[in-house]
Amino acid sequence: MSDTTPGSAAGLRALIVIDVQNDFCPGGALAVADGDAVVPVANELLSDADAFDVRVLTQDWHPPDHLSFAVNNPGHEPYEVIEVSYGPQVLWPPHCVQGSDGAAFHPDLATDRADMIVRKGFRPAVDSYSAFFENDQTTPTGLDGYLRARGVESLTMVGLATDFCVRYSAVGGAGLGYDVTVALDGCRAIDLDGSLDGALAEMASAGVNVTG
């Protein structure tokens, strides 16, 4: 039996397109500046059959009573940081609410080319930036198991936002033993109080390859 765990010679290549959803694009509830510019880059990568063996989309999928929404924390405002059971948590405007138009993928994203969609952040009491783990850093999304079963060893990531969900996904993937590349031309950042510089430094420290 061949070794198909990440890092093996038999490993395949996966593209992970992170949270390219209406609420993170211009006009959305938590819009990232120029966020829709990632769509053509993502589509080009999704259509490149020679570059990737596996294609995955992630999707924020929050219930209305989600812990991370400022409106569910009386006395607090959006973008404040509070302490919760698993550590610091940024409070956000309500976004990507399950079943809403804001939670839908950008209409121009080539979703039909994906092999799998991973929904995250659906547990009311814990946020989920990473494609691999909820923010408690222990609850898995199931993506790692899927990639291992497919024999994936290397990951390329694009999407929104560079300094939050892309960052945590990249660092989480590297920690699990994958060879991770973040293509910055297919990402855009929120850059909340210097969070982009922090994200780039953390990804570099984790061994993530950052290009573009």
- What digits encode the pLDDT tens for the residues 45-67? 999 989 999 999 999 999 999 99
The answer to whether residue 4 scores a pLDDT higher than 60 is: no
More confident residue, 5 or 115: 115
- pLDDT band at 10; cut points 50, 70, 90: low
155-to-182, 187, 210 alpha-carbon distances in Å: 8, 15, 12
Q: Which residue has the tokens 């302490």?
A: 83
Assess whether pLDDT exceeds 80 at residue 9: no
Beta strand residue intervals within the chain, DSSP E? 12-18, 54-60, 81-84, 87-90, 116-120, 152-160, 179-188, 209-211
Choice among 60, 120, 127, 187 that is catalytic: 120
Res. 153: pLDDT tops 90: yes
Active site residue 187: no
Q: What's the predicted TM-score (pTM) here?
A: 0.93
Give the mean pLDDT of 108-133: 97
Sorted by sequence, the CB contacts under 8 Å of residue 27 that are 6+ apart come out as: none
Q: What is the mean pLDDT of residues 129-155?
A: 97
CA distance 45 to 78: 34
- For each of the domains in the chain, give its residue range(s) and CATH number, in order of start: 12-61+105-211 (3.40.50.850)
Q: Is 19 a catalytic residue?
A: yes
**25, 96, 165, 187: which is the annotated catalytic residue?**
165
Q: What is the pLDDT of residue 8?
A: 43
- Provide the terminal-to-terminal Cα distance of the chain, rounded to the nearest Å: 38
